[in-house]
Structure 1
């Protein structure tokens, strides 16, 4: 009988080892396909199988997975990285195994398209414009009114995201994004967004169930790098319900609801405003915190879904869990 393998497309230094260990606990053989397997040094001590392949090339991935099927039964294919998650959906569709809807993921990963779909559905979001050059950035900021957030239309991890409080900061960051220093994965498009003010929250969702809502600490502007996360968020019952309702509206608007979704909010004087919907599991310490707070292992349950097993999202307990990160200046 062929050994059952879980194919991981790329990985992250935070969640990658957790996926590997969870797969092993489920009796699966994890295999990572990566453009640069050396990026994931957690493979070396574990002696995990890692294969070099161009993960931007769907045909190359199909060929490699087909080759592996001669040796293994491919139980499932997944990823922890947003950049390849749509590709995962296409691979799953090709091999007729459970996976995310690639079209929904692609629409969600384009933050401009995401904004359009959320706005059409009446989901509360900041005012926004899209710009392709410095003149359009300047005029968009004038229409919205300073301060504004500048962010790449496609990207993750807060890379290239900055608060611009005056015209000098606006010009400086526009030059950074368009002047060759910032590396674009696609044609340059900048979202110019209203700066929504208020405390930050994050909802972790599996399928259409909100597992937990956390308070986020992004530190001091102008950058947005998460340095703290606490479960559960201190919300009233009414505030909690409004965030859940808003989260479910996002899923419907973006045709999500298979597997994990992470949604970031600001609580403004008008209530919850959606900052970003991520069609994936949150990175960093979030999976460990959810397990500590509620007894739900998001990564294991995600893998169960991927391999066609029934997941179990029942909370085992309700504790407080928090993480703090030390960030260099």
Structure 2
């Protein structure tokens, strides 16, 4: 009998957990990579890795067809949004459970997503789509400064910036246009109203809201998250409004199979949807859901992908408060050393402590998810205790960064 395999396209911050979850239910994980730099995520993971030339659907179909000669492919999925539409097409080609690829493609185009949400009556920031500097300036004048300027396609807050003055607007627009021309892609820039208010991240599976997490960000102009708390401290009526809007988002975008993540801000006018992502949020959000409720979203996603998932609501096994602190450097330079890891990890209530970089690594901040050098995840039965555990663990961690200018002297 052929060995049952789970095929995963590309890699992301959750890749190792996908591999572990697949192995725990008796599947042989196989990862298809087109970018060899992503191999770092899978080093010593236990996944078979195959490099594929080209990201087009036909290349993946060809490779999966070859794999079917040896394995029983039980499912195909990915932790990466960039190829999630391709996953949908592959699942349809091989008659496997999977997301609707057309819905995924529409959702990943930020201006299309905004249009569909707006037409459905979902509260969103005012926005314009621009293709050049003049368009961006006109859009900002119509909406009113400050505005958030971002590429129309992208993930992890890459290229997202708050522009409060016209010179900041022009500078960032030039940077985005240069990036588009360098990649030989059609320049599309989204200019949108800056929605002020508390930020929340909503995790969904199918048509069910699993958890609402509060997110705190660092100082503008960038949007780099510094801390998460799950569940978010919300009144019952506030949570209901967030749940209702989240489900409306799924309906408007034709989603509802598998995982989704929604970012919104609670403004003076109420909740405003910033973005809908047709996939799980990156680490450590799934860990927070598991620690808070005992629901393993990655395992549930894999079960759906192989046709063994639950269609009934997922059962919460407990109710704790989980939190994560994202460790972000305050300067560029060379990371000299990190200390206190073992002491912090030993604090009762610390569930995970992870560093993404090693000493002597050059640090160049980009103003997005790549600025993270590590994170600490904790959990306990109460908000106050969780807060105290997190602060105690973080206080034990230190590092030193020597600025590049100092190195050259």
Partner of 2:2: 2
Size of the aligned set, in residue pairs, is 328
Deviation at 1:38, TM superposition (A): 4.7
Quote the Cα distance in structure 2 between the aligned partners of 1:126 and 1:201.
Answer: 15
Q: Say yes or no: does 1:293 pair with 2:292.
A: yes
Quote the Cα distance in structure 2 between the aligned partners of 1:212 and 1:309.
Answer: 22
Most deviating of 97-106 and 215-224:
215-224
Partner of 1:318: 319
* TM alignment of 1:27-46, pairs within 5 A: 27-46=26-45
Q: Do the aligned residues in 2 keep the contact of 1:112 with 1:130 (CA within 8 Å)?
A: yes
Cα shift readout 1:77-135 (whole Å, capped 9, x = no counterpart): 00001000000000000000000000000000000000000000000000000000000
Q: Say yes or no: does 1:81 pair with 2:117.
A: no
Q: Do the aligned residues in 2 keep the contact of 1:9 with 1:55 (CA within 8 Å)?
A: no
Q: Do the aligned residues in 1 keep the contact of 2:3 with 2:72 (CA within 8 Å)?
A: yes
Quote the Cα distance in structure 1 between the aligned partners of 2:258 and 2:325.
Answer: 27
TM-score with structure 1 length normalisation? 0.97
* TM alignment of 1:229-268, pairs within 5 A: 229-268=228-267
Q: Do the aligned residues in 2 keep the contact of 1:154 with 1:186 (CA within 8 Å)?
A: no
Quote the Cα distance in structure 2 between the aligned partners of 1:77 and 1:92.
Answer: 6
Cα shift readout 1:265-315 (whole Å, capped 9, x = no counterpart): 000011100000000000020111100000000000000000000337211
Partner of 1:52: 51
- Secondary structure at 2:191 match in 1: strand
Q: Do the aligned residues in 1 keep the contact of 2:19 with 2:46 (CA within 8 Å)?
A: no
Quote the Cα distance in structure 1 between the aligned partners of 2:242 and 2:138.
Answer: 33
Partner of 1:280: 279
Deviation at 1:43, TM superposition (A): 3.1
Note closer, same or farther for the CA distance 1:226–1:177 as it changes in structure 2 (3 Å cut). Answer: same
Most deviating of 158-167 and 179-188:
179-188
Quote the Cα distance in structure 1 between the aligned partners of 2:199 and 2:267.
Answer: 9
Deviation at 1:11, TM superposition (A): 1.2
Most deviating of 94-103 and 305-314:
305-314
Deviation at 1:42, TM superposition (A): 4.3
Partner of 1:208: 207
Note closer, same or farther for the CA distance 1:118–1:185 as it changes in structure 2 (3 Å cut). Answer: farther
Note closer, same or farther for the CA distance 1:198–1:44 as it changes in structure 2 (3 Å cut). Answer: closer
Most deviating of 35-44 and 180-189:
180-189
- Secondary structure at 1:175 match in 2: helix
Select the structure of larger CA radius of gyration: 2
Quote the Cα distance in structure 2 between the aligned partners of 1:283 and 1:63.
Answer: 29
Quote the Cα distance in structure 1 between the aligned partners of 2:180 and 2:61.
Answer: 34
Note closer, same or farther for the CA distance 1:292–1:147 as it changes in structure 2 (3 Å cut). Answer: same
Deviation at 1:57, TM superposition (A): 1.5
Partner of 1:25: 24
Partner of 1:116: 115
TM-score with structure 2 length normalisation? 0.78
Note closer, same or farther for the CA distance 1:46–1:264 as it changes in structure 2 (3 Å cut). Answer: closer
- Secondary structure at 1:70 match in 2: coil
Quote the Cα distance in structure 1 between the aligned partners of 2:329 and 2:24.
Answer: 35
Q: Say yes or no: does 1:199 pair with 2:198.
A: yes
Note closer, same or farther for the CA distance 1:119–1:269 as it changes in structure 2 (3 Å cut). Answer: same
